[in-house]
Amino acid sequence: MIVDGVWASVQCASEDFWEDQAGHIRKLRRAEDRVILVAMAIWPNGTQTVLHYEIAVQESEAAWLLFFEHLRQRGLQTHLVKLIVSDGTTGLPKVIRALFPLAQHQRCITHKVRAMLRHLGYEQLPHLDAQGQELSHSEAKKLRYSQIKHDAYAIYKAPDWEEAIVALLVFAQKWTDLEPDAVRTFTKDFALTLSFYDFDESIHSLIRTSNALERLFREFRTKADEIGAFPNEESCLAIFFLVSRRDHAKHDRLNNHGE
The tens place of each residue's pLDDT in the chain, 259 residues long, gives 999 999 999 998 766 665 566 666 666 678 899 999 999 999 999 999 999 999 999 999 999 999 999 999 999 999 999 999 998 777 788 899 999 989 999 999 999 999 999 999 999 999 998 889 999 999 999 999 999 999 999 999 999 999 999 999 999 999 999 999 999 999 999 999 999 999 999 999 999 999 999 999 999 999 999 999 999 999 999 999 999 998 877 766 556 555 4
Question: How many other β-carbons are positioned within 10 Å of the β-carbon of residue 212?
Answer: 20
Its domain, for residue 170, covers 109-195
Q: Does 103 reside within a domain?
A: yes
Q: Give, in order, the Cα–Cα distances in Å from 96 to each of 120, 189, 207, 209, 212.
A: 30, 15, 16, 17, 20
Q: Does 252 reside within a domain?
A: no
93 shares its domain with 213 = yes
3-class secondary-structure state, position 152? helix
34 shares its domain with 154 = no
3-class secondary-structure state, position 210? coil
Rounded Cα distance, 131 and 206, in Å: 37
103 shares its domain with 122 = no
Q: For residue 198, what are the contacts with CB-CB under 8 A and spacing of at least 6?
A: 104, 161
Q: Does 22 reside within a domain?
A: no
47 shares its domain with 163 = no
Q: Does 203 reside within a domain?
A: no
Contact 145, 117 (CB under 8 A): yes
99 shares its domain with 226 = yes
